[in-house]
Amino acid sequence: MNKTLPDVAMMHSDVLIVRAREGDKHAQGKLVQVWYKRIYNFSYKFFYDHDLAMEVSQKTFISMHRNIAYLQDTARFRSWLYTIAVNCCREELRKRKSNRSVSLNDLSPGEHEDSYQWETSGSRQENPERVLRQSELSDLLQACLMQLSEEQREVVIMKEYEGLKFREIAETLNVSENTVKSRMYYGLEALKRILERRKITQETIGYEL
């Protein structure tokens, strides 16, 4: 994963966290700027829905603002923030299940005119064909992720895309490290089968890219 400026800033956000914990609004705002992309992408991969991801991100940071004063160990800020995000995701999931309504956007995300794709910024120099293939592959892989159970999906996203250690994931989810590894194990086994079923092979990925 290529590191961007916000990623680098995120790694050195210790001072910001300390200041934010002391009630510095500016530092809290900066933390939002630095971590927003990560939380949004975690939620997006979990729901495969832009609107829900935006909502979860917003709720996560509002909760962060309210509770950061109670954060005892600043070194655990990352797992603490992901705990909030996971809780928000689960809350949204419960709401969705109780509503049992399906948004039309869920059926084909990204294909309608008002989709988030207009909001996202991409490099203009990239080859359009390559971008299209990458986008198709991303959709396909996202669809594969959505076939995992929620528990497996949480763990896989946190490990593969957010780069958390198993210890941090265990802290975030408030379960043992072995449980996390077990979920990862079954998650990868399931993914292997899903990829086979969808005929995604080494060649397919090589061709796509």
Partner 1 sequence: MNYKPDEAALIAYLYGELDGDEQRKVEEYLQKNPAEKTRIEEWSFARTALSNLQDKEVIAPPIMLGEDEVSMPFWKESYFRMPLGIAASLVVFLLAAKLVGLSLSYSPGEVKIGFGEKEKPVQQVPVLTEQQVGEMIHSTVASNNEMLKSSWNEDRKALEKTIQKNLNSNSNKIDKLMQTASLASQEQVKSFVGQLQNDNLKLMKDYMQLSATGQKEYIENLLVDFSSYLQEQRKQDLQLFQARVNKVEKNTDLFKQETEQLLTSLISTTGTNNQRRN
**Residue ranges that bind partner 1, judged by CB under 8 A:** 1, 23, 25, 28-29, 32-33, 36-37, 40-41, 44-45, 50, 54, 58, 61-62, 65-66, 116, 119-122, 134, 137-138, 141-142, 145, 156, 159-161, 165-166, 177-178, 181-182, 184-185, 188, 191-192, 195, 200, 202, 205, 208-209
**Spatial CA neighbour of 77 closest among 5, 132, 13, 125:** 13
DSSP secondary structure, 50-102, as one string: HHHHHHHHHHHHHHHHHHGGG---GGGHHHHHHHHHHHHHHHHHHHHHHH---
Is 113 within 8 Å of 68 (Cβ atoms)?
Answer: no
The least CB distance from residue 100 to partner 1, in Å, is 27
Cβ-based nearer residue to partner 1, 94 or 192: 192
CA distance 48 to 56: 12
Question: Shortest approach of partner 1 to residue 145 CB, angstroms?
Answer: 7
Q: Minimum CB separation from partner 1 for residue 92, in Å? A: 17
**Residue tagged 């509002």 (tokens):** 62
Residue closer to partner 1, measured from CB, 97 or 199: 199
Residue 86 or 180: the one with the smaller Cβ distance to partner 1 is 180
Q: In the bound complex, what is the minimum distance in angstroms from residue 96's beta carbon to partner 1?
A: 20
Residue type, 158: M
